[in-house]
Amino acid sequence: MKMLMHASSGGSLLRVTVAVSGLCVPSNLFRRYGFRHYSVSTALPSISTKKNNKYLSQPINAVLDIGGTKITKDDVVKDDPTNNVPDSIFTKLGLQLHRRDKHPIGILKNAIYDYFDKNYATEFTKFDNLCPIVSLKQNFDDVLVPADHVSRSYNDTYYIDAQTVLRCHTSAHQAELLRMGQTHFLVTGDVYRRDSIDSTHYPVFHQMEGFRVFSPDEWEKSGINSTSYAAEELKKCLEGLARHLFGAVEMRWIDAYFPFTSPSFELEIYFQEKWMEVLGCGVVEQEILKRNGRADNVAWAFGLGLERLAMVLFEIPDIRLFWSNDERFTSQFSKGQLGVKFKQFSKFPPCYKDMSFWINDSFTENNLCEIVRGVAGDLAEELKVREEVQSKLNVVLR
C-alpha cells in the first residue's frame, strides 16, 4: 500500500508518504530528494491489548480515586490549547503497578522497603499513593528547576493546563512532605514523560524518591561538616541498597548535576559486563530546606527508576511488558520473589513501516512518537530516525 498526501500547513508544504508491506518505495529515492526519513518498527505484541482488559485500560468514563483525589478523564484530557495529554496516557492513570505485590515493580519496591526497614532505627515513612497530577510549582519550582530548563517544555512534559502537569519525577513531592514535618521518607509513584519509542523508554514509568533529614547533633558529634556528613551517610546507604538488590557488585560514584542537590552524584554498578546507572542523588540544596521549615538541618535525597532496575533484575527485555496482563507474563512473578528470571514467550516478529515526510520547524520527534503511540499503542516497538536531508527541490513521488 502506498499513500501520498500533501497539504498546506502554515504556508509550508507538508508531504507524507507511508509505505506499508512489500510495496515500499526504495529508500534511496527518499535519500535523493531530501526528506526527513523515519523508520518506525512495530511488532505484534507479546502483550495482550484486549480492549476490556482490566489492567491495560481504564474505562474512559471511570472515576479514579488516587490517594483520595477523584479524577475523571475530563480532568486530565482537556480541550485546552496547553493540554498535550492523549487518551493513551489517561488510561495509565490509577493503574499503579508499584502497588501490586506480585508485579515486578511492586516486588522491587517491597525489596527496597525491606532494606530501609532492616537498616534504619528511624522508620522511613512510605508514600505510594500520592496523586500524579501536580502543579508546575510542585514539579519544578519547589525543587529549584530553572525557568529555562528543557524538562519544563511541552515537548518533554505532559501539561494538563498551563499550571498543572503529570509529575515527571517523584521529587515533585519533596517540599510538601517536608512541610508536613516528614524527615525520613520514601515516595514511590508513576511518573510521566513525553519520550522516544524503544525497548527501554515508555511515557509512563515508576520512580522511588528517598529523603532523609539530619539534625545538628547528628553531624556535630561526627566532627565533620554537615554537607560532608550527609554525603557520606548517603553513599553508605545507597551502596548498601545496591548490594541488597544485586549482591556483591562493583560500584562507582560519578559526579552529576541536579537542580535540587549539591553536591550531586550518580551511582553506577558493574553488572552483566557493563556499567549501569542505578540512581541519582545528592545533598539537598539548603534553599529547599530553608523554604520548608528546616533551615537548621541538612538532608540527602535520591531518585531511582524502578523499571530500569527491574528489567535487569528480572531479565525483562522490553519495557512494554510491565503493562501486560497476559497470564504468561503475570504468572511468572510472586510476592517477595526478587530476581526470578523472566522466560520469553512467543512473540510476533517485528514488521517494519518506513515513512518519509516533509517537516517544518515546529516538528519534534516526541510529537511524532505521540502520534505513533496514539495509533499503534503498545504495538509500536521502536521508532528510529533513518536520515534527515535538506532539499530545495519540490518533488512529488507517485
Q: Can you say whether the dihedral through the CA atoms of 247, 251, 257, 262 is positive or negative?
A: positive
Q: Tell the smallest beta-carbon distance from residue 99 to ligand DAH (Å).
A: 20
Of 45, 132, 203, 282, which one interacts with ligand DAH (CB under 6 A)?
282
**Binding of ligand DAH by 76 (CB under 6 A):** no
**Binding of ligand DAH by 261 (CB under 6 A):** yes
Residues in 136-165 at the binding interface with ligand DAH, rule: CB under 6 A: none
Of 40, 281, 288, 321, which one interacts with ligand DAH (CB under 6 A)?
281
Residue with cell 557520606: 232
Residue with cell 532492616: 118
Q: For the sheet containing 380-388, what is the strand order?
A: 2-9, 12-19, 350-357, 36-43, 380-388
Q: In this complex, which beta carbon is closest to ligand DAH, that of residue 2 or of residue 137?
A: 137
Written as nine digits, the cell of 169 is: 519525577
Q: For ligand DAH, which residue has the nearest CB?
A: 303
Query: If you compute the radius of gyration of the chain from its CA atoms, what whole number of angstroms results?
Result: 23
Alpha-carbon distances of 385 from 36, 342, 382, 389, 393, rounded to whole Å: 8, 31, 10, 11, 21
Alpha-carbon distances of 109 from 170, 238, 241, 277, 305, rounded to whole Å: 14, 15, 12, 18, 11
Of 88, 139, 171, 226, which one interacts with ligand DAH (CB under 6 A)?
171
Q: Rounded to an integer, what distance in angstroms lies between the CA atom of residue 4 and that of residue 346?
A: 35
Q: Tell the smallest beta-carbon distance from residue 203 to ligand DAH (Å).
A: 14
Query: Considering only CA atoms, which of 281, 316, 284 is closest in space to residue 299?
Result: 284
Written as nine digits, the cell of 26 is: 526504495
Q: Tell the smallest beta-carbon distance from residue 353 to ligand DAH (Å).
A: 32
Q: Tell the smallest beta-carbon distance from residue 258 to ligand DAH (Å).
A: 4
Instruction: List the alpha helices (DSSP H) in the chain.
Output: 27-33, 73-76, 87-90, 104-119, 136-139, 174-179, 216-220, 226-246, 286-291, 306-313, 327-330, 365-376
Of 116, 192, 202, 258, which one interacts with ligand DAH (CB under 6 A)?
258
Q: Tell the smallest beta-carbon distance from residue 261 to ligand DAH (Å).
A: 4
Q: For the sheet containing 159-161, what is the strand order?
A: 133-135, 164-166, 159-161
Q: Tell the smallest beta-carbon distance from residue 143 to ligand DAH (Å).
A: 8
**Binding of ligand DAH by 132 (CB under 6 A):** no
Binding segment (CB under 6 A) for ligand DAH, from list 75-83, 86-94, 253-261, 353-361: 253-261
Q: In this complex, which beta carbon is closest to ligand DAH, that of residue 190 or of residue 209?
A: 209
**Binding of ligand DAH by 209 (CB under 6 A):** yes
Tell me the per-residue interface mask from 299 to 318 with ligand DAH, x by CB under 6 A, - otherwise.
--xxx---------------
Residues in 221-240 at the binding interface with ligand DAH, rule: CB under 6 A: none
Helices and strands counted in the chain (H then E): 12, 17
**Binding of ligand DAH by 280 (CB under 6 A):** yes
Q: Tell the smallest beta-carbon distance from residue 157 to ligand DAH (Å).
A: 12
Q: Tell the smallest beta-carbon distance from residue 260 to ligand DAH (Å).
A: 6
**342 secondary structure, DSSP code:** P
Binding segment (CB under 6 A) for ligand DAH, from list 4-12, 134-142, 255-263, 328-336: 255-263
Binding site for ligand DAH (CB under 6 A): 169, 171, 209, 258, 260-261, 280-282, 301-303
